[in-house]
């Protein structure tokens, strides 16, 4: 791939991955804001879980609709809708005077995240040459962790404004939302979607620009063959072969969430403030910045090695590291007084383990393992499942801590990391270096 084509491919993938930046920011901004929200609205533990989870309920709805909408109206067009929803939510979440108004605005943001979480990796996978597809899809995860880190930094800086600082935390997302919407006018539609809807010449032009004439003709032929062979119905997903692919995708989506990483992303400031000493709000939010930096740097490592090491190895390494660190965290929280430095270190190790493997790896696998014509619907099912698992985790964490203690909660998550390790080892196939059409034919054996 020459320098011009390479630069163009990375440019297109980066624009699409900007959805991930907004995704990460909206997911993580609640972390610091929760401290002030609890004070301003006098929230109980359950109401705090509702405030944190309202976004995620929107994610379930958005991801459920995104697959069908993108198959009908195109990947790029629906990403534009998500950009508008991001902006509406950012302003709406900054203005409410009741918990109900706040949860409604966050629900709209969840719709945007649900759409973006499905379509950004799917779109990138469909415009990327096979040899660097894993790296480019991982750019979406890179953008997500960049958004998370940005949210932590913004939260920390704005926290010094006092109790009303949470309003500015949410409003700040409006600017990147507008930039993302404008940038989408300068990238092409997915060549696979264009081919499916009879725009083969346009699709070939896109493929030529990203992969070169020779590879473009070969991939175009493979796309046409795969579309001719596939019916593209929901029923097809439950036929032999694809049924296995769907099961793997759904289980991986659930396991990515229930291994416990979002307890840190959503409730980190509360953990640091209430479980590790009576820290100030700004100090607790500042600790999240360190976690965000670790997340960011570890994801850079993942982006550069995922196409060399492969998906399975990273997923297994990730789940093993998370299991060991969460076992250690449980032991630390069981000790009195809590060894704060040890626990913070183990939280950092856990986040690093997730960022190197389960974070980007699951999204890469979900974007790769389904044939073209059913990919949108299949990813929608898997992504809906992922967000439902995330809702369950977020809605139960504080209650679980009350019921079995924070040590018991992390030991439970560690056991699910062990389940993940063996599921990847024995069930999940390796997709490194294969074209999307080759992977699709694999399920017909």
Distance between CA atoms of residues 407 and 63, nearest Å = 33
| Highest-scoring range by mean pLDDT, 16-25, 156-165, 277-286, 409-418 | 409-418
Angle between helices 45-73 and 99-127 (to 10 degrees): 40
- The percentage of the chain sitting over the pLDDT mark of 70, rounded to a whole number, equals 93
Instruction: Using the predicted structure, report yes or no on whether residue 181 has a pLDDT greater than 90.
Output: yes
Structure confidence by residue, pLDDT tens digits, 294-316: 988 998 888 788 888 888 889 99
SS3 434: coil
pLDDT at res. 90: 94
pLDDT at res. 251: 95
At 169, the pLDDT band (50, 70, 90 cuts) reads very high
Mean pLDDT, rounded, for 380-398: 88
- Note the Cα 283 to chain centre separation in Å: 27
Mean pLDDT, rounded, for 109-125: 86
> For 128-199, where are the alpha helices, taking DSSP H only?
133-158, 165-171, 174-183, 191-196
Residue in 219, 153, 159 with CA at minimum distance from that of residue 192: 219
pLDDT at res. 303: 78
Instruction: Using the predicted structure, report yes or no on whether residue 112 has a pLDDT greater than 60.
Output: yes
Element (H, E) at 50: helix 45-73
Which tokens go with 125?
């996978």
pLDDT at res. 162: 83
At 215, the pLDDT band (50, 70, 90 cuts) reads confident
Structure confidence by residue, pLDDT tens digits, 320-365: 999 999 999 999 999 888 888 898 899 999 999 999 999 888 988 8
Contacts 24+ apart (CB under 8 A), 198-202: 200/224
Instruction: Using the predicted structure, report yes or no on whether residue 280 has a pLDDT greater than 70.
Output: no
CA of 165: how far to CAs of 36, 102, 104, in Å?
Answer: 8, 15, 20
The dihedrals phi and psi of 95, each to the nearest 5 degrees, come to -110, -10
Which tokens go with 270?
């509360």
CA of 212: how far to CAs of 1, 142, 161, in Å?
Answer: 7, 26, 53
> Would you say 135 and 15 are in contact if contact means Cβ atoms under 8 Å apart?
no
Element (H, E) at 437: helix 436-442
- The percentage of the chain sitting over the pLDDT mark of 90, rounded to a whole number, equals 29
At 80, the pLDDT band (50, 70, 90 cuts) reads very high
Q: What is the mean pLDDT of the chain?
A: 85
pLDDT at res. 100: 92
Which tokens go with 104?
């409604």
Distance between CA atoms of residues 433 and 46, nearest Å = 46
At 193, the pLDDT band (50, 70, 90 cuts) reads confident
Distance between CA atoms of residues 275 and 291, nearest Å = 16
Neighbour-count burial for 284-314, b at 16+ CB within 10 Å, e otherwise: bbbbbbebbbbbbebbeebbebbbebbbbbb
CATH superfamily assigned to domain 3-187+230-442 = MFS general substrate transporter like domains (1.20.1250.20)
Distance between CA atoms of residues 139 and 158, nearest Å = 28
At 8, the pLDDT band (50, 70, 90 cuts) reads confident
Structure confidence by residue, pLDDT tens digits, 238-253: 777 788 888 999 999 9
- Please tell me which residue, 118 or 410, carries the higher pLDDT value: 410
> Would you say 67 and 117 are in contact if contact means Cβ atoms under 8 Å apart?
no
∠ CA(215), CA(217), CA(221), 5° rounding?
Answer: 115
Distance between CA atoms of residues 382 and 307, nearest Å = 23
pLDDT at res. 244: 86
pLDDT at res. 117: 80
pLDDT at res. 232: 59
Q: Domain segments of the chain: what residues? A: 3-187+230-442
Q: DSSP 3-state helix, strand, coil percentages of the chain (rounded to 5)? A: 85, 0, 15
pLDDT at res. 381: 86
- Count CB-CB contacts under 10 A for residue 439: 18
Instruction: Using the predicted structure, report yes or no on whether residue 1 has a pLDDT greater than 60.
Output: no
Instruction: Using the predicted structure, report yes or no on whether residue 373 has a pLDDT greater than 70.
Output: no
> Would you say 257 and 322 are in contact if contact means Cβ atoms under 8 Å apart?
no
Residue in 91, 97, 94, 92 with CA at minimum distance from that of residue 41: 97
Instruction: Using the predicted structure, report yes or no on whether residue 225 has a pLDDT greater than 70.
Output: yes
């Amino acid at each position: 791939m020459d320098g011009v084509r390479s630069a163009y491919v990375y440019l297109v993938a980066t624009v699409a991955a900007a959805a991930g930046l907004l995704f990460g920011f909206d997911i993580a901004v609640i972390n610091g804001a929760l401290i002030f929200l609890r004070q301003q609205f006098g929230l109980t533990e359950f109401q705090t879980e509702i405030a944190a989870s309202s976004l995620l309920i929107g994610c379930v709805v958005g991801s459920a609709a995104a697959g069908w909408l993108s198959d009908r109206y195109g990947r790029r067009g629906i990403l534009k809708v998500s950009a508008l929803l991001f902006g509406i939510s950012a302003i709406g979440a900054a203005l409410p005077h009741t918990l109900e108004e706040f949860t409604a605005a966050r629900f709209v943001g969840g719709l945007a995240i649900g759409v973006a979480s499905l379509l950004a990796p799917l779109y990138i996978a469909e415009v990327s040459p096979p040899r660097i597809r894993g790296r480019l899809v991982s750019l979406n995860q890179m953008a997500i962790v960049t958004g998370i880190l940005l949210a932590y930094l913004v939260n920390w800086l704005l926290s010094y404004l006092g109790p009303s600082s949470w309003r500015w935390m949410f409003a700040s997302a409006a600017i990147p939302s507008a930039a993302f919407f404008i940038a989408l006018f300068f990238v092409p539609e997915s060549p696979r979607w264009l081919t499916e809807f009879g725009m083969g010449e346009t699709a070939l032009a896109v493929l030529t620009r990203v992969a070169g004439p020779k590879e473009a003709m070969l991939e175009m032929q493979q796309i046409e063959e795969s579309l001719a062979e596939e019916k593209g119905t929901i029923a097809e997903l439950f036929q032999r072969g694809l049924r296995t692919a769907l099961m793997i995708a759904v289980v991986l989506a659930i396991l990515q969430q229930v291994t416990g990483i979002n307890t840190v992303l959503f409730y980190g400031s509360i953990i640091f403030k209430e479980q590790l000493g009576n820290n100030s709000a700004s100090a607790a939010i500042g600790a999240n910045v360190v976690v965000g930096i670790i997340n960011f740097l570890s994801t850079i490592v993942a982006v550069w090695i995922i196409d060399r090491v492969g998906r399975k190895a990273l997923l297994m390494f990730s789940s093993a590291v998370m299991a060991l660190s969460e076992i250690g965290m449980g032991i630390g929280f069981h000790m009195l007084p809590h060894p704060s430095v040890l626990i913070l270190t183990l939280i950092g190790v856990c986040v690093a383990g997730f960022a190197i493997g389960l974070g980007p790896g699951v999204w890469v696998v979900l974007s790769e393992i389904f044939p073209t014509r059913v990919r949108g619907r299949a990813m929608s099912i898997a992504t809906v499942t992922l967000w439902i698992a995330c809702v369950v985790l977020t809605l139960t964490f504080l209650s679980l801590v009350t019921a079995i203690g924070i040590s018991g909660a992390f030991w439970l998550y560690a056991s699910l990391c062990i389940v993940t390790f063996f599921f990847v080892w024995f069930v999940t196939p390796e997709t490194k270096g294969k074209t999307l059409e080759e992977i699709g034919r694999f399920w017909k054996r």
